[in-house]
Amino acid sequence: MDEIRALKEIKKYHNGRFEMLTDLVVREISFTINVNDFRLVAIACLPENLPALALGFLFSEGLLMNQREILDSEYTPAENLINFKLDIPEERIQSFFLTGEKTSGCGSTLSSALSGNKRAFSELKIEAESILQLMRKFQQDSALFKQTGGVHSAGLVKHDEIAYYAEDIGRHNAVDKVAGMALMSQCDLTSYYLICSGRISSEIVKKCVRLGIPLIVSQSAVTSEAIRLGWEYKTFLMGFTRGGRFNLYTGIEEEIFVKNEY
């Protein structure tokens, strides 16, 4: 049908009877990221915003520290392949494979271990009602989810506006895509926060810690390991953000809210 959607013939059972129908589903591909002509990883993903996905992945997994380390990149759409020439220590790549663990999301890949020192919680200031209003808008924006039920969404927010938005079959991929979009625009991610549809697991927190994103807001649940890491690496976590409520799991004594509406 198009790049990200496909029509498939199905047999549906409903109210005691079968019928043949045409159903709309999301497309899935395998996208390969090479580093210095070496196959780093292949990611199952939605076939859009792939260069942003690759760039976000390299930063969120700690393989890149700054954009000066990128010497060149070549994207080959016909092969679903991107190759980066990077000026980075070989130890970084080896660490990715040695310390990496399988992620818990769709399109899963490796997620490398965190390193570095603890830091203070951000001095970010937000309004509780603004978070809820933004989540309602965020939930309404995913036409592809409404059509197929097959994607997660992620956005980067600044000044109560969703500045970058992406969808993918994997929640990790959606986060990497919006991060990559912002990085392509030379944005400082410490001044944004992440809004997402999927659960906040430890891998999502790790990505945001490496990217410098101070707050993660999800309409879904938060895991115990995510909460531990959120406290350790001073990242605000909000879960079950829907309707008129949310739960703040970390930084609960910090003055994050402009008004004490919680």
Q: How far apart are CA 63 and CA 91, in angstroms?
A: 10
Active site residue 106: yes
Residues 197, 142 contacting (CB under 8 angstroms) = yes
- What's the token pair of residue 152? 């997660």
Residues 6+ apart with CB under 8 A from 171: 105, 106, 152, 154, 196, 197, 198, 199, 204
Q: How far apart are CA 190 and CA 155, in angstroms?
A: 14
Dihedral sign of CA atoms 203, 99, 212, 247 in order: positive
Catalytic residue, chosen from 106, 187, 196, 208, is 106
Helix (H, G, I), strand (E, B) or coil at 48: coil
The single residue listed with the structure tokens 């703040």 is 248
Give, as one character, the DSSP assignment of residue 37: T
User: Which residues are catalytically annotated?
Assistant: 106
